[in-house]
Amino acid sequence: MLLVALFIALLVPQVPSALAQMEQGAVTVHVFYRGTIPPPMDMKVTRDPHICGTTASVQSVTVHAPSGGLKDAVVMIEGIHAPEKEPTRRSPMVLSNSRCSFLPHVMPLQTGSPLEIHNLDPVVHNTHITKEVRTFINVAMVVNARPVVKKVVKPGLYLVQCDAHKFMRGYLVASEHPYFGVTSERGDTRILNVPAGEHDISVWHERLGQLQAHVTVPPNGEAAVSFEFHEDGTDHGPRMNK
């Protein structure tokens, strides 16, 4: 009988912890752009025009015509820590030089993830990634080269450029936790397994800047948030459905 009581006592303290781990929810986010879409910037190509073309059309604001959904906006839960139990090895995040552009154009990833850089073009690229003024990696990517891999350790915004083709540009956004997403062509993304409770949430866009909101994530439920960027730069505030 004593052994049974001891066994039960050992189990009881673990129950709240297990329940806490179950109290997670999802956040669905829609990001919109309201106003006239800025025209693309045409840049003259001075190197490898037989592959890259003579002019590169750079469009930083991509909007889904029927809905106004904004593509390539990074959404992130703020002020939250990574889960206690995380995989010791993360899958590589692939960044490709493809058709004289970076694919994906904007990539959110978790710190500790290996960044795997590929060159899929029949020309030499020079992938140069910086965080503020410091170089993260600067590597020549020759034709048919093996991928170059380097682990992303520090959180923050990284600028991706090609020193051989000045019109090529992309972004990495590194987070210490996995609660982030990037909007699709329709301007939406869904963040899973978010701890239940009150959280700040932000959205960042390379040209339009950043907006913030507050969201309540219900246990085993889902919260929905909508952000709007405006042509005049005015923050009209997010709309939220709890």
CATH at residue 166: 2.60.40.420
Asked if pLDDT for residue 19 goes beyond 60, the answer is: no
Q: Are 124 and 140 in contact (CB under 8 A)?
A: yes
Task: Please report the sign of the dihedral spanned by the C-alpha atoms of residue 92, residue 116, residue 77, residue 71.
Answer: negative
- What's the whole-number mean pLDDT along residues 13-33? 72
Q: pLDDT digits over 154-172, tens only?
A: 999 999 999 999 999 999 9
Which of residues 4 and 73 earns the better pLDDT score? 73
pLDDT at 183: 98
- For strands 74-78 and 180-182, give the pairing: antiparallel
13: in domain: no
pLDDT at 72: 98
- Helices 2-11, 14-22: inter-axial angle, 10-degree rounding: 30
Whether residues 72 and 101 share a domain: the answer is no
63 and 101 in a common domain: no
Q: What percent of the chain has pLDDT over 90?
A: 80
CA–CA distances in Å: residue 186 to residues 77, 239, 242: 20, 17, 22
Please check the confidence at residue 236 and state whether its pLDDT lies above 50: no
The dihedral built from the CA positions of residue 121, 126, 132 and 135, taken in this order, carries a sign that is positive
Encode pLDDT of 181-210 as tens digits. 999 999 999 999 999 999 999 999 999 999
Same structural domain for residues 162 and 192? Answer: no
Reduced DSSP (H G I as helix, E B as strand, rest coil) percent helix, strand, coil of the chain, to 5:
10, 50, 40
Give every strand in the sheet of 239-241, ordered side by side: 188-195, 24-34, 222-230, 239-241
105 with 39, same domain: the answer is no
Q: Please tell me whether residues 129 and 95 are part of one structural domain.
A: yes
Same structural domain for residues 145 and 186? no
Tokens 């507050």 -> residue: 214
CATH number of the domain to which 207 belongs:
2.60.40.10
Cis amide bond preceding 104, omega within 30: yes
What band does 4 get if pLDDT is binned at 50, 70 and 90? very low
Does residue 226 belong to any structural domain of this protein? Answer: yes
Range of the domain at 207: 24-81+180-242
Is residue 49 included in any domain, yes or no?
yes
Three-state secondary-structure class, residue 10: helix
Residue 132 confidence (pLDDT) above 60 = yes
CA distance 125 to 119: 7
Q: Is the confidence at residue 239, as pLDDT, over 50?
A: no
Which of 151, 176, 201 terminates a domain? The answer is 176
Task: Say how far apart CA 58 and CA 110 lie, in whole Å.
Answer: 27
- Give residue for tokens 């800047």: 209
In this predicted model, what pLDDT tens digit does every residue of 65-109 receive, in sequence order?
989 999 999 999 999 988 877 766 889 999 999 999 999 999 999
Q: Choose the final residue of a domain: 176, 192, 214.
A: 176
Token code pair at residue 53: 């073309």
What is residue 231's predicted lDDT score, i.e. its pLDDT? 87
User: How confident is the model at residue 233, as a pLDDT?
Assistant: 64
Domain total of the chain: 2
d(C-alpha 129, C-alpha 166), whole Å: 13
Judgement on whether residues 135 and 102 belong to the same structural domain of the protein = yes
